[in-house]
Amino acid sequence: MRFSSDGAINWNPVVDAISSNSNIPWLAVVDPLNGPGASGKPGNDDVNYIDGTSKLNSYSNVKTIGYVRTNYGQAPLDELKANITTWSNWGTYAAADVGVDGIFFDESSADFDYLNEAVTFARNAFSNSITTICNFGSRAEAEYYSICDVVIAFESCLNCADGPPYESQKTLSNNIPAGYESKAAVILNRFTGASVDGREADRGLMNEYVKTMKESGLGWYYFTSADYDTIDAGPATVGANMDALAA
């Protein structure tokens, strides 16, 4: 899931969900402003991100991930590398633990050399092993699973005009190369209204979808009933995500 809102108090529902079950792992993407922020300083020199990120880092079942926008392969590599370096420097902040555990490459595109150079730079920029997440939002070929630890293979809404609908196992099979399910992720925004087959978007349908994901071996998922950074709109609240996975 992704954080971009100011005010660490707004992260409390996430912290509540995380703390309610230490066996559920989380990848929490931190995004001050389409990247580490304009200040170039740890926490973007913002008490909200310093407090919020350090709180997330206090939980052993959370990895905090720094957001980097690739702009579908159009962002200059020097820009990506500068943002990655800034993220790595968050770990030098002495007053609180705001270091991140990886990099989220948003808007990834099918340019292997470009992405491989960015991912390799990220791994070398951190002193510790990191988690790299590549958000294609649609099917990526198997070669990308060799350079990214997590590949977001589908990001769309439940059933809307501006993106492909989610169709449970059909979507998983069509978007994830066989054998790579454990490294794949699904983000389902706007889980509201009715599915393409006419079923109401409620907790029951969400639980059914998550059960299928678990049975298929999917590594990661996140549902929201509004936009990507919404955590408290029902039925797919952040707590409901945790409950569905724990069931």
The answer to whether residue 122 sits within a structural domain is no
* Residue 24 identity (one-letter amino acid): I
pLDDT category at 56 given cuts 50, 70, 90 is: very high
User: Which residues on neighbouring strands pair with residue 26, listed in sequence order?
Assistant: 62
Same domain as 70, residue 155:
no
The answer to whether residue 128 sits within a structural domain is no
Same domain as 240, residue 165:
yes
Residue-wise pLDDT tens digits, 12-45: 899 999 999 999 999 999 999 899 999 999 999 9
Q: Would you say residue 4 has pLDDT above 60?
A: no
Structure tokens at 153: 């293979």
User: How far, in Å, CA of 193 to CA of 213, rounded?
Assistant: 21
Same domain as 232, residue 152:
yes
Long-range contacts at 193-196 (CB < 8 A, ≥ 24 apart)? 193/158, 193/159, 194/158, 194/159, 195/158, 195/159, 195/165, 195/166, 195/167, 196/159, 196/165, 196/166, 196/167
Share of residues in the chain with pLDDT > 90 (%): 91
Structure tokens at 140: 């990526």
Same domain as 2, residue 108:
yes
The answer to whether residue 16 sits within a structural domain is yes
Mean pLDDT for the stretch of residues 167-180: 99
Handedness of CA 197, 199, 200, 201 (dihedral sign): negative
Same domain as 108, residue 2:
yes
Same domain as 153, residue 102:
no
**pLDDT given at position 3:** 55
Residue-wise pLDDT tens digits, 114-167: 999 999 999 999 999 999 999 999 999 999 999 999 999 999 999 999 999 999
Neighbours of 1 (CB within 10 A): 20
Same domain as 85, residue 20:
yes
Pairing relation of β-strands 102-106 and 131-135? parallel
Neighbours of 208 (CB within 10 A): 14
Same domain as 95, residue 24:
yes
Question: Residues for the chain: how many in total?
Answer: 247
Question: Would you tell me the crossing angle of helices 77-89 and 112-125 to the nearest 10 degrees?
Answer: 20
Same domain as 230, residue 163:
yes
Q: What is the pTM of this model?
A: 0.96
User: Which residues on neighbouring strands pair with residue 65, listed in sequence order?
Assistant: 29, 102
Q: Examine the fold and report which residue of 89, 112, 135 is the final residue of a domain before the chain moves on.
A: 112
Same domain as 2, residue 107:
yes
Q: What is the DSSP string of 107-162?
A: T--S-HHHHHHHHHHHHHHSSS--EEEEE-SS---HHHHTT-SEEEEEEEESSBTT
User: How far, in Å, CA of 30 to CA of 40, rounded?
Assistant: 15
Longest dimension (CA), the chain: 53
pLDDT category at 10 given cuts 50, 70, 90 is: confident
The answer to whether residue 231 sits within a structural domain is yes
Q: CB–CB of 209/245 below 8 Å?
A: no
The answer to whether residue 129 sits within a structural domain is no
pLDDT category at 6 given cuts 50, 70, 90 is: low
The answer to whether residue 125 sits within a structural domain is no
Same domain as 147, residue 94:
no
Q: Mean pLDDT, the chain, as a whole number?
A: 95
Q: Please tell me the total count of domains within the chain.
A: 2
Query: Domain range for residue 208?
Result: 143-247
The answer to whether residue 119 sits within a structural domain is no
**pLDDT given at position 228:** 86
Same domain as 163, residue 70:
no
Q: CB–CB of 87/66 below 8 Å?
A: yes
The answer to whether residue 167 sits within a structural domain is yes
Structure tokens at 171: 């979507």
Residue-wise pLDDT tens digits, 216-238: 999 999 999 998 888 999 999 99
